[in-house]
Amino acid sequence: MSILIKKPYSRRDVLRGVVGGVPVAVALPLLDFFLTDSGEALASGAPLPVRFGTWFWSMGHTPGHAVAERADKLEFLEECQALTRHVQHLNYFGQFNSPLDGRPNHVHHSGWVTTRTATAPILPGDIPEPTIDVLVADAIGGRTRFRSIDMTCTGNPRDSFTARSTHSKNAGEVSPAALYTRLFGPGYADPNAAEFKPDTDLMLQQSVLSGISEQRQRFEKRLGAADKARLDEYFTSVRQLENQLVLEQQKPVSADACHLPQKPADGPVGLEIPVAQANHDAMAKILVMALACDQTRVFNMAFNNALSSLRRPGTAYTHHTLTHEEAVDQTRGYQPEAFWFNCRVMESLAVFVDEFAKVREGKGTLLDNTLIFAHAETSYAKLHAVDNIPVFMIGRAGGRLKTGKHIVGHGDPISRVGLTAMQVMGLPVEKWGTGSLQTAKTITEVLV
Amino acid sequence: MSDRARSVRSRLGRGAVPVAAAACLLAGIAAAVSQVPAPRAAPRTPQTLAFVVANWDNAIYQTRFMDECPDGPTIGNDELWWRGLSRADKDKLTDKGLVQPVDRRFISVLRGPKGEDVCWNPTVVQDPPLRTVKGKTAYGFNLDGKIDGGATPKSCPHQDFTGVDGTPGVDNQMYRLLGCTYGWRRNGVLDTFGNEERRNSGRGVVLIEISGIVDLQNSPDVQVAFYRAADPFQIDAAGRILPYASYRVDANNGKARYGAVTRGRIEKGVLTTQAIDAKLPFYGNSAYAEIGLRDMHVQLNLTPTADGKVNGLVGGYYDFDKWWEYMLKIEFLIATGDWSCPALYTAAKQLADGYPDPKTGECTAISSAFRIDALPAFAIHTTGPAARDLKASR
Amino acid sequence: MTARALRLAPLAALALLGLAACGTAEPPTSGGAPTVRRLTESQYRNIIVDVFGSQIVVAGRFDPIVRTDGLLAVGASRATITPSGVERFAQLARSIAEQVVAPGNRELLLPCTPAAAAAPDDACARQFLSQAGRYLFRRKLADDEVATLVKLAAAGAQARGDFYAGLSYPLQSLLAAPDFLFVSENAEPNPDSPKLRRLDGYSKAARLSFLLWNSSPDETLLAAAESGTLATEDGLETQVERMMSSPRFQAGTRAFFTDMLGLDDFTTLEKDSLLYPAFSLAASDDSREQLLRTLVDELLTRDGDYRDLFTTRRTFMSSPLGMVYRVPVSQPGAWAPYEFPESDTRAGIHTLLSFVALHSHPGKSSPTLRGKAIRELLLCQKVPDPPSTVNFDQFNDPKSPNKTARNRLKAHSVDPACAGCHKLMDPIGLALEHFDGAGQTRFTENGEPIDPSGDLNGIAFTDAVGLGAAMRQDPAATSCVVRRAYSYAAARPVERGERDWITHLEQEFADDGFRFRQLIKRIALSDALYAVGRPAVQTAANERPVARM
């Protein structure tokens, strides 16, 4: 079969038209393939999509100075003061544990892996199961131009906490300018534009990709099982990009909240606190518009790297080294410098939420139609503790989530939080995790 | 890199000679910085140290309430010009007061009787006398060897200062001349801009090379050389000059184009040189100039300050004509610097105290002193022509 | 085998070492599995330059490859491509293809001119695509593959009304194809060995070219693979000789050491500009280049002893580096050879910025990181990860009298939970304490003199130079480069069934006077590198095989 004409959704008719020299501005009919479970979602006036994202920070909290221990009421202390303005829009999950079943605690790694995959890694650096965002994106990411938008504020694309497997880590965007170009540069179709003209070039691009997909069998026939699995991922990725191109050829559904954000200037990237904060804030502004304009429904933001190398200009110690090497101030009862960094991190989380709250969408805000799963990799960095890792669920997920609650886990596996988040996002998942982290217990207190 | 640049570079490569006593440079500087030489780095043979001059300022001794200027600061050209205008001219220039900012830059100096530029013709008008320093204390050196200000074969009668450290007989008529002019006082626009421009343009870079150091604290006899660098300053992202950069000595066929070589001694970590006549390159305030100093004395404290710089004082008789040439080149700053050319010229002529003209008896140089600070650097001597390859080194 | 070993050894060495040392036959191995490895960023870039010329701009980022068993080359055999990675590769493919067919380049790169610029020309498209495809896929394209590409070119030309615009689509297809992005190896029966199979000609050619040039095979090598001459001893030797005498062997050597010494970390190296103003971006770039120049000079130009890397005083200096090292640069603005004086604190690559600055924190030195790097990168010894219960209370108290890192790190040796591992790292890391976080020389810390003495496996030293001398004597250093080089060439860890071969290779390396060039040559000419064992039991993507040395 021709490279050009293939697959149920590969626009056979249109492309045949291309080959035959027929004008190519043929409106593409909506394809069932893209409407798996919510055909009406694309119709005008339909319910707004619910978005899912993660916000990662490392070094946890300063015990006793971040969140008040009382469970009846969610109350923030000095370190989380900035979040007080959002207290009615979020839940805090404390006292959930990460049982490792005898596997080693790979410091600053095991904690986030258990929280995101519900499986303890065996080896350092391993990501044994897909991270929660990847699972959510598998379910809802295929309907938008970008399956997921991944960002990191450290300047290093490797500082990313989203992966399908150890060797398949999604690299984070590090520069607001590059993020802008990727989302709103060439290929972006304004959903509110009066006219829409599908691009010949996009169809040809799609042919390029479907040509590649066709090589799958030929290429894979000689491979062993492991290599086949790897290549499967690649070919799945190609298929996803094909879908993205198909979507770009359709007239986008109008979105009231959508407007083109301001293009950020090229600035420095790096780990100095002011630089990381500036990039975080700039990327957050672009991200909320990418969501409002329905370019993606899944996102990942990493504020710092797992071994937080954030630092203040002119100082020798990084955030991470401070958590270990700074002496505890006996009067205050904590490490003052490390605490200072933790406060800045929580401020940035609050700013991130601000951006969601600013976007009016339907009768509420973008925040009401989003679930942000924010967490750290440890509870108390000084001790590398993986029990009681702080987790926030921020936003109302399209009204599916009750907020303003402090949920105490009493030592239950932390996977309960992730399982609940996935269920809120509509994933048909009953149980999640491996070993002691496996759970089927939803946290019903937060469900509407 | 262009072919030409490459050929220049390779020529340089063949011509390069090892830096004098390079083996000990690191050790010496490390010792200078940390004061604790490790056994491996202990100096054994005489060392060479070089510095690149970062800032070059008139050494102005000033008190908080400007006590040294009892008559007040100098009256600037603009004020004199404005005072001299008729009511009608003022009305015309300001449209009867409706125009507030008057662009006086290129007209305020044209106040000679026939509209002459009074800087280029400083004697065509007589301005009120320049307000000069009346204080007793100044930075500088005793250049003529006398402490009573009397004439010597190489100096005209003048008033001596007492040094800031109590040294009697300090000669610094330049300070007397400029010390009450805002633009020349500390952090005034003229030296500040000059330094900044040198840093950014990389022009007029002065190197000081001290060789034969046996001990940074005490070395009875060292050689001190002053050169112009053929390479611009190496600066960091924030615009600060970086230490330990290498600069080629600007030379022509092996002979340094600028500079002077003298001898000196180090006592308690302070270098003092023997007097020497020197011409040094200078660039600042968009003007190339040449500093011509006779009997140049240099004192440099070799113990770096917290910012890694060494500080010192340069003094000598500044050639009047070379100095006035610079004043003319920076005429456009007369409003911000706030002086009057005729008053300055007349006072300078009166205050000049060095090297009387054998025929007229009029002194042709002004005693002066400059504060400098400098960063550790490496002076690279090449036998071939030191090609000025700004692009490659930036 | 013996005959080849004899040919390999230079005559002078023969005379010196005697025949016995040179004539040992290569021991049999169990063979390894063929690999499927993702092109690294540098390989991708090199190929584009090789195939289309350096005027083509490759602007983009690549998905990271996870360092596995000490090498990115091994990680590449496990790497896949994520959705965003595919997006980026597709963008790159597009940008490259558009540049190739743009006026100015098309005249150079296309072997033909279309009959009409605004219409399809299958013959011309076929000619170009089969040629470009052969270089990109590292093999001859099948007829149906070419036909498909030509069809896409025609469709594109028709839709866009431009032959060249049309041609960019099949070219994109080639550049985003798995055959290009993954180097997939195939085995064939080995007529000389009933038990083992061997890599086929194309796979062998790819291994050779990525090992020696860090790029894909050139025309001559492909031709040798196709004609079957590469399968013969003579044919292989001819190619290896040819490739190693090419200046491109330098690129291959640089790529190997970039991988082995973790120099990819330079891309994200940050130093505090207030504390270390001289450590500019230019200095950071140049310090990586300095190490590579030093390696090429010592190992290739001088054909020196690998062990001398730990003691050599020779290196190269640039203007930005001169300010960090605080040494004169004889040719400001250019690279110039430089030799650290006898009295200096530096000798050996472990004292260069690329080591001491890279393995430090942004604002301070780290004896632990440096010690770990020496153990892991230069000696191939694994240092266990820190325990999660680590307690640094004693390590840093601002009011502490412990002014130097040595004093502070005493906590490690006192606390039994730390001592086990830190005794591997700290004593050798402390030897480098004369270099601060940016690698600048210092003799005191907080006003107190620094003591850089220590011992490596029982050999006492007084400072970093002494540490280098101790490393020079350490058999782990030479055995490390042997294993890494072989593992890099094969893009997989050394297998259990290859132990004898590695021991043999180590012996040959010693007999060759630890000449790196000879080591690579022996690997490239070995049977082991191309031997394929019984159909490998494939492990899951995440699982690391345990049968390893």
DSSP C86-102: HHHHHHHHHHHHHHHHS
- Nearest by CB to residue C158, choosing from A19, A227, A328, is A19
Whether residue C263 contacts residue C257, with contact meaning beta carbons closer than 8 Å, is answered with yes
pLDDT at res. C405: 82
Q: Say whether pLDDT at C536 is over 70.
A: no
Average pLDDT over residues C502-523: 97
Interatomic CA distance for residues A208 and A10, integer angstroms? 11
The identity of residue B355, as a single letter, is Y
Sorting pLDDT into bands at 50, 70 and 90, what band is C146?
very high
User: Would you call C178 and A19 a contact, using CB atoms and an 8 Å cutoff?
Assistant: no
User: Would you call C268 and A244 a contact, using CB atoms and an 8 Å cutoff?
Assistant: no
Q: B35: left (phi > 0), else alpha (psi -120 to 50), else beta? A: left
Q: What is the pLDDT of residues C423-448, one digit of tens each?
A: 778 889 999 999 999 999 999 988 88
User: Would you call A240 and C155 a contact, using CB atoms and an 8 Å cutoff?
Assistant: no
Task: Tell me how close the Cα of B291 comes to any Cα of chain C, in angstroms.
Answer: 26
User: Would you call B40 and C442 a contact, using CB atoms and an 8 Å cutoff?
Assistant: no
Whether residue C52 contacts residue C26, with contact meaning beta carbons closer than 8 Å, is answered with no
Residue B220 Cα distances to A235, B268, B271, angstroms? 79, 11, 10
Whether residue B243 contacts residue B376, with contact meaning beta carbons closer than 8 Å, is answered with yes
Containing B219, the helix (H) or strand (E) segment is: strand B219-228
Q: A367: left (phi > 0), else alpha (psi -120 to 50), else beta? A: alpha
Could you tell me if C81 lies within 8 Å of chain A, comparing CB atoms? yes
Q: How many residues in chain C? A: 549
- Nearest by CB to residue C273, choosing from B30, B41, B236, is B236
Q: Say whether pLDDT at B39 is over 70.
A: no
pLDDT at res. C198: 94
The identity of residue C243, as a single letter, is M
Whether residue A384 contacts residue C389, with contact meaning beta carbons closer than 8 Å, is answered with yes
Whether residue A295 contacts residue A146, with contact meaning beta carbons closer than 8 Å, is answered with yes
Q: What is the pLDDT of residues A256-314, one digit of tens each?
A: 889 999 999 988 998 899 999 999 999 999 999 999 999 999 999 999 999 899 998 88
Sorting pLDDT into bands at 50, 70 and 90, what band is A4?
very low
Residue B181 Cα distances to A97, B319, B335, C333, angstroms? 74, 20, 11, 42
Average pLDDT over residues C260-282: 86
- Nearest by CB to residue C323, choosing from B18, B237, B245, is B245
Interatomic CA distance for residues C442 and C365, integer angstroms? 11
Give burial (CB, 10 Å; 0-12/13-18/19+) of A402: middle
Could you tell me if C275 lies within 8 Å of chain A, comparing CB atoms? yes
The identity of residue A232, as a single letter, is D
Could you tell me if C434 lies within 8 Å of chain B, comparing CB atoms? yes
Q: What is the pLDDT of residues B191-200, one digit of tens each?
A: 888 888 888 8
Least confident range from A11-25, B338-352, C442-456: namely A11-25
Q: Say whether pLDDT at B226 is over 50.
A: yes
What percentage of chain A carries pLDDT values higher than 70? 90
pLDDT at res. A224: 81
Task: Tell me how close the Cα of C471 comes to any Cα of chain B, in angstroms.
Answer: 19
Sign of the torsion formed by the C-alpha atoms of B210, B211, B216 and B218: negative
- Chains contacting B with at least 3 CB pairs below 8 Å? C
Top residue of C281, C351, C432, C443 to mutate, by most chain B CBs within 10 Å, is C443
User: Would you call C343 and B42 a contact, using CB atoms and an 8 Å cutoff?
Assistant: yes
Q: What is the pLDDT of residues A339-389, one digit of tens each?
A: 999 999 999 999 999 999 999 988 899 999 999 999 999 988 887 788 899
Provide, as residue numbers in chain B, all residues whose Cβ is less than 8 Å from the Cβ of C463.
Answer: 38, 40
Question: In chain C, whose CA is at the least distance from the CA of A205?
Answer: C169
Average pLDDT over residues C353-372: 92
Interatomic CA distance for residues B280 and B258, integer angstroms? 6
User: Would you call A237 and C362 a contact, using CB atoms and an 8 Å cutoff?
Assistant: no
Interatomic CA distance for residues C291 and C301, integer angstroms? 14
User: Would you call A231 and C80 a contact, using CB atoms and an 8 Å cutoff?
Assistant: yes
The identity of residue C156, as a single letter, is G
Top residue of A168, A240, A384 to mutate, by most chain C CBs within 10 Å, is A168
Q: What is the pLDDT of residues B271-308, one digit of tens each?
A: 999 999 999 988 888 888 888 999 999 999 999 998 88
- Nearest by CB to residue C326, choosing from B237, B244, B380, is B244
Whether residue C366 contacts residue C429, with contact meaning beta carbons closer than 8 Å, is answered with yes
ipTM for the whole complex: 0.81
- Nearest by CB to residue C327, choosing from B13, B25, B389, is B25
Interatomic CA distance for residues A247 and A266, integer angstroms? 29
pLDDT at res. A247: 78
Interatomic CA distance for residues B322 and B73, integer angstroms? 25
Interatomic CA distance for residues C524 and C8, integer angstroms? 12
Provide, as residue numbers in chain B, all residues whose Cβ is less than 8 Å from the Cβ of C332.
Answer: 231, 245-248, 380, 392-393
Q: Which residues pair with A396 in a beta bridge?
A: none
User: Would you call B41 and C343 a contact, using CB atoms and an 8 Å cutoff?
Assistant: yes
B386 vs A347, residue with greater confidence: A347
Q: Say whether pLDDT at C152 is over 80.
A: yes
Q: How many residues in chain A? A: 448
User: Would you call A208 and C169 a contact, using CB atoms and an 8 Å cutoff?
Assistant: yes
Interatomic CA distance for residues C336 and B326, integer angstroms? 40
| B126-164: burial string, b at 16+ Cβ within 10 Å, e else | ebeebbbbebebbbbbbbbebeebeeeebbbebebbebe
User: Would you call C361 and A318 a contact, using CB atoms and an 8 Å cutoff?
Assistant: yes
User: Would you call C330 and B243 a contact, using CB atoms and an 8 Å cutoff?
Assistant: no
User: Would you call C81 and A4 a contact, using CB atoms and an 8 Å cutoff?
Assistant: no
Interatomic CA distance for residues A321 and C91, integer angstroms? 39
Top residue of B236, B247, B394 to mutate, by most chain C CBs within 10 Å, is B236
User: Would you call B238 and C444 a contact, using CB atoms and an 8 Å cutoff?
Assistant: no
Could you tell me if C328 lies within 8 Å of chain B, comparing CB atoms? yes
Average pLDDT over residues C382-403: 64
pLDDT at res. A125: 86
Provide, as residue numbers in chain A, all residues whose Cβ is less than 8 Å from the Cβ of C75.
Answer: 167
User: Would you call B25 and C277 a contact, using CB atoms and an 8 Å cutoff?
Assistant: no
What percentage of chain A carries pLDDT values higher than 90? 48
Q: B16: left (phi > 0), else alpha (psi -120 to 50), else beta? A: beta
Provide, as residue numbers in chain A, all residues whose Cβ is less than 8 Å from the Cβ of C186.
Answer: 222
Sorting pLDDT into bands at 50, 70 and 90, what band is C68?
very high
- Mean pLDDT taken over chain C: 88
- Nearest by CB to residue C81, choosing from A207, A234, A384, is A234
Sorting pLDDT into bands at 50, 70 and 90, what band is C401?
low
Could you tell me if C330 lies within 8 Å of chain B, comparing CB atoms? yes
Quickly tell me which residue has 């044994």 as its tokens: A128
Q: Say whether pLDDT at C530 is over 90.
A: yes
Average pLDDT over residues C323-339: 91
C275 vs B220, residue with greater confidence: B220
Question: Any idea what DSSP says for residue C300?
Answer: I
User: Would you call C442 and B29 a contact, using CB atoms and an 8 Å cutoff?
Assistant: no
User: Would you call C323 and B234 a contact, using CB atoms and an 8 Å cutoff?
Assistant: yes
Residue C511 Cα distances to C14, C19, C23, C25, angstroms? 10, 11, 11, 14
- Nearest by CB to residue A155, choosing from C160, C186, C268, is C268
C-alpha B383: how far from chain center: 28
- Nearest by CB to residue C542, choosing from A128, A148, A316, is A128
Provide, as residue numbers in chain A, all residues whose Cβ is less than 8 Å from the Cβ of C66.
Answer: 125, 166-167, 169
Torsion angle, CA of C91/C93/C98/C104, rounded to 10 degrees?
130
- Nearest by CB to residue A107, choosing from C184, C386, C393, is C386
Residue C198 Cα distances to A213, B177, C24, angstroms? 29, 91, 22
Provide, as residue numbers in chain A, all residues whose Cβ is less than 8 Å from the Cβ of C36.
Answer: 223, 227, 230-231
Whether residue A146 contacts residue A168, with contact meaning beta carbons closer than 8 Å, is answered with no
Interatomic CA distance for residues A396 and A372, integer angstroms? 9
Provide, as residue numbers in chain A, all residues whose Cβ is less than 8 Å from the Cβ of C79.
Answer: 167-168, 230
Task: Tell me how close the Cα of B37 comes to any Cα of chain C, in angstroms.
Answer: 7
Question: In chain C, whose CA is at the least distance from the CA of A225?
Answer: C538
Provide, as residue numbers in chain C, all residues whose Cβ is less than 8 Å from the Cβ of B37.
Answer: 443
Task: Tell me how close the Cα of C457 comes to any Cα of chain B, in angstroms.
Answer: 23
pLDDT at res. A298: 96
Containing C241, the helix (H) or strand (E) segment is: helix C233-245
Average pLDDT over residues A58-83: 91
Question: In chain C, whose CA is at the least distance from the CA of A148?
Answer: C84
Most confident of A222-226, C286-290, C331-335, C387-391: C286-290
pLDDT at res. B198: 86
Whole-prediction pTM = 0.78
Whether residue B257 contacts residue C299, with contact meaning beta carbons closer than 8 Å, is answered with no
pLDDT at res. A237: 85
User: Would you call A204 and C83 a contact, using CB atoms and an 8 Å cutoff?
Assistant: no
Residues 149-188 of C with CB under 8 A from A: 149, 151-152, 154-156, 158-160, 169-170, 172-173, 176-179, 181-182, 184, 186
Most confident of A150-154, C58-62, C66-70: A150-154
